[in-house]
Chain A
Amino acid sequence: MTDTMRSHGAPARGPSAAAAAVTTGSANILMRLTDPPMRAVQRLIGAARMPYVFLLPNLLFFGLFVFLPIGINIVFSVTGGTGLFPSERPYVGAEHYARLLDCGSYLEAGSCREDLFWRGVGNTLTFTVFQMVAMVLFSLVTALVLNRPIRGRGFFRAVYFFPVLLSPVVVALIWKWILQRDGLLNAVLTTAGGEKILFFVDPGWAMFWAVFVSVWAHMGFYTLILLAGLQAIPRDVYEAAEMDGTRPWRVFHRITLPLLWPNLLVVLVLVLIRSVQVFDEVFVLTGGGPGTATMMVVQYIYTTAFANQVQNFGLAGAASVLLGAVLFVLTLIQLFLTRRRAS
């Protein structure tokens, strides 16, 4: 058969062609099977309503695994006790919210009734600000360098992206081994004649490494977004600037930055949302310490709901709803910026 085809000048059929044939065949069989019931449904509800039928499976999936848990969380936030099922929990209204928001001054966590929540809020804000600045700065610089025709560019792109593929827990454990009292970094310091530094006992160092590790782990992803933006900038703009003798800094400031701005905005908002949600890496790395110096809002929620002796799902639920509201606003900002960019 193959010989006959070859003799007629037909292209050789490789594995990919065979796979395509199988896929097409399967799709055809599936179409034939689903066609009669779909036609029956269309006759019943009309063609205009058919998109809803196609949306239904996904909607059910989201409803079950996203909207239902959100609803349950809200129910938990207005009920009290330690019961797990809503039917076992007495209604307490806004009691948990009032407790969380009861503060002498929002700038002084110690004046708040639920001081640990506000310490978490303060730490999350600090983390977010430093992480955003560092992430955008390092991602941008890395993207600019990787966009140049340097040797081994493909290798370096892979190297910077590799940490993104690692589990956050693995990342945190690796860095914990490096930073602990008898870790790699302290071994290097003492070998060089310095003294050991207890990174996880000093609040400043602990926050520094929390930010550093997070940037190290996720920078590759944001670098990729910025690299895509850089590669989309037309070359002729740079050529025109070069012919005019424009200095490199001015080229960056007047051409690269404005044309990259839409990608930068996306990166900024994504980093912001992720920073507010931070938990796993920091929790494994520092355990929220020293004291509560790196305890983030999500850790507070986790501790309140699961790690405390009395598992206060109501208070944790209320804190989750407040955090969810902040994330919702941030997501709206992202949508607004993305739409503006598209238009």
Chain B
Amino acid sequence: MKKAAWMAGCALALSILGAAGAQAETTLRIMWYSDGNEGEVMNDLLRRFEEKNKDVKVVLDQVPFKAINETLPVQLASGQGPDLARITDMGGLAPYLLDVRAHVKDAAYWEQNYGPFLQWMRVPGNTTAIPGYMTQLTVTGPFVNKTLFEQAGVAMPGANATWEDWAKAAKAVADKVQAPFPVAFDRSGHRFFGLAVSQGAQMAETGGALNPVDDGFKRAAKLVVDWHKSGVMSKELWGAVSGTAYRGANEEFKNAQVVFYESGSWQTAQFDKTIGDAFDWIAVPTPCGPANCSGMPGGAALVALKTSSHPAEVGRLLDYLASEEVASEFYARTLFVPGHIGLAKKGIAYKSASLQAASALKVFGDAVGKLDPVAYRIQGDPSSRIVFNAAISRLGQVVVGETSLDDAYQRISADVAQQIAERKKKQ
């Protein structure tokens, strides 16, 4: 009886000690969205991190992209939020990002390999913060259904072809093979600016105020509207929804309904996986406009947030994930263009990619080197998303005939000015 009591006492003491040990474990939460298999890959890497860091547990909360765009900013504004998040609107969320410079082992490594992109995550005026790293660098560019071109017997425009060349060729193909979407653009301001930059859009400040609607912008807007009128673009993408709603054409492309699809490098992995050998597809360099042949850069970053109570552990985790070895594996397995300067120079071995995907990634990798400095500046501008959203919302109205282009230009300027003014209001 006495022995049993002793054993029970020991078991109780051990369970209390165990509970205390469990309480000492720090749990980090990451808000994460996925376009392809990156959530799966990240989970793998996190388990390995946990094995090496027994005191830290990392939970990957996978959410739709919409939650990152709409819910996370409200959470952050209210002082609530996860420890880290994968975001695309780096400039807009910069005030909420945590600087982990004091918690990373080698800040020089970060500056050297992520330097140009760190600037996108910093509030204006700050030149030192290290809030996170790029999980992918993206670049806008077109995918082409090669099989449809072959079936139609139409020659594909060559290098340095213009947007008009591609529109004409895609329409000819679509007419012959009865494809409903000759040219498709994601309904996204970022994708629109991929065209606008090549047309000479600057999004520069004039007289102290941002001027979103310049001549380059107007040239691009007119092209889009004319393409809708002539049937080169279908109203189903830009016209079918209202406001700032994103609408991609990836499903239509996968179903061989699109001849020429202006999207970006992040689609490569899912096309590789889902299209398989159903038809041949390729990525082609961004068509040229009067100003240049540049698309838009972009990307997603895994960033630390000020709402975290564990900055040291967050720094340790970011150090691990941003290390050359781990980042290289992540980029290779997800088929992403690296957002790491050193790895970009060395090149990534995309072992799991098919020939088509590897070729597409090569095209996008080359496109990064041809990006116009204006495109980088626009992407890093904290007001860029305001302009993107206003553009897509108002041009959508023009496409369905609700308003004229001139009226849309005025509305875009007014919307942008009003939102910037609202953002500046402080107590």
Contacts of B160 in A (CB 8 A): none
Point out the residue from A82, A286, A293, A314 that lies within 8 Å of B77, measured CB to CB. A82
Instruction: Provide the B261-293 mask, 1 if CB < 8 A to any CB of A, else 0.
Output: 000000000000000000000000000000000
Q: Which of B369-427 contact A (CB under 8 A)?
A: 385-386, 388-389, 396-397, 399-403, 407, 411, 419-420, 422-423, 425-427
State the interface size on chain B (CB cutoff 8 A).
Answer: 40
Q: Which of A170-207 contact B (CB under 8 A)?
A: 181, 198, 200-201, 203
- Whether A292 pairs with B242 at a CB distance below 8 angstroms is yes
- Whether A289 pairs with B389 at a CB distance below 8 angstroms is no
CB distance from A47 to the nearest CB of B (A): 45
Q: Which of A276-304 contact B (CB under 8 A)?
A: 286-295, 299, 303
Residue of B78, B388, B419 contacting most chain A CB atoms (<10 Å): B419
Residue of A92, A181, A291 contacting most chain B CB atoms (<10 Å): A291
Q: Return the chain B residue nearest A84 by Cβ.
A: B77
Q: Return the chain B residue nearest A91 by Cβ.
A: B427
- Whether A200 pairs with B386 at a CB distance below 8 angstroms is no
Contacts of A294 in B (CB 8 A): 242
- Whether A198 pairs with B400 at a CB distance below 8 angstroms is no
| A81 touches B (CB below 8 Å) | yes
- Whether A312 pairs with B422 at a CB distance below 8 angstroms is yes
Contacts of A229 in B (CB 8 A): none
A92-B425, A181-B180, A311-B73 known; A295-B243 Cβ under 8 A = yes
- Whether A292 pairs with B397 at a CB distance below 8 angstroms is yes
Point out the residue from B244, B400, B422 that lies within 8 Å of A82, measured CB to CB. B422
Contacts of B385 in A (CB 8 A): 309
Contacts of B411 in A (CB 8 A): 115
CB distance from A104 to the nearest CB of B (A): 13
| A88 touches B (CB below 8 Å) | yes
Point out the residue from B74, B388, B400, B423 that lies within 8 Å of A290, measured CB to CB. B400
- Whether A290 pairs with B245 at a CB distance below 8 angstroms is no
Point out the residue from A83, A198, A291 that lies within 8 Å of B242, measured CB to CB. A291
- Whether B239 pairs with A82 at a CB distance below 8 angstroms is no
| B70 touches A (CB below 8 Å) | yes
- Whether A295 pairs with B77 at a CB distance below 8 angstroms is no
Contacts of B400 in A (CB 8 A): 201, 203, 289-291, 293
| B44 touches A (CB below 8 Å) | no
- Whether A88 pairs with B427 at a CB distance below 8 angstroms is yes
Contacts of B168 in A (CB 8 A): none
| B368 touches A (CB below 8 Å) | no
Instruction: Provide the B217-261 mask, 1 if CB < 8 A to any CB of A, else 0.
Output: 000000000000000001110011111110100000000000000
- Whether B242 pairs with A287 at a CB distance below 8 angstroms is yes
Point out the residue from A84, A287, A303, A310 that lies within 8 Å of B419, measured CB to CB. A310
- Whether B240 pairs with A287 at a CB distance below 8 angstroms is yes
| A80 touches B (CB below 8 Å) | yes
A90 to B422, CA, bound (A): 11
Contacts of A115 in B (CB 8 A): 411
- Whether A289 pairs with B241 at a CB distance below 8 angstroms is yes
- Whether A310 pairs with B420 at a CB distance below 8 angstroms is yes
Contacts of A292 in B (CB 8 A): 242-243, 397, 402
- Whether B77 pairs with A287 at a CB distance below 8 angstroms is no
- Whether A303 pairs with B244 at a CB distance below 8 angstroms is yes
Point out the residue from A89, A203, A308, A312 that lies within 8 Å of B427, measured CB to CB. A89
| A306 touches B (CB below 8 Å) | yes
Contacts of A92 in B (CB 8 A): 425
Instruction: Provide the B176-193 mask, 1 if CB < 8 A to any CB of A, else 0.
Output: 000010000000000000
| A25 touches B (CB below 8 Å) | no
Point out the residue from B242, B244, B427 that lies within 8 Å of A289, measured CB to CB. B242
A107 to B175, CA, bound (A): 42
Q: Return the chain A residue nearest B423 by Cβ.
A: A310
Contacts of A166 in B (CB 8 A): none
CB distance from B151 to the nearest CB of A (A): 20
- Whether A310 pairs with B386 at a CB distance below 8 angstroms is yes
Point out the residue from B70, B245, B407 that lies within 8 Å of A287, measured CB to CB. B245
| B315 touches A (CB below 8 Å) | no
- Whether A291 pairs with B396 at a CB distance below 8 angstroms is yes
Interface residues of chain B, those whose CB is within 8 Å of chain A, are: 69-70, 73-74, 77-78, 89, 92, 180, 234-236, 239-245, 247, 385-386, 388-389, 396-397, 399-403, 407, 411, 419-420, 422-423, 425-427
3 tightest Cβ-Cβ pairs between the two chains A and B: A287-B241, A288-B242, A291-B400
- Can you offer 12 A-B residue contacts whose CB atoms are under 8 A? A81-B425, A181-B180, A200-B236, A287-B241, A288-B242, A289-B239, A289-B400, A290-B241, A290-B242, A299-B242, A307-B69, A311-B77
Interface residues of chain A, those whose CB is within 8 Å of chain B, are: 80-85, 87-90, 92, 110, 115-116, 181, 198, 200-201, 203, 286-295, 299, 303, 306-312, 314-315
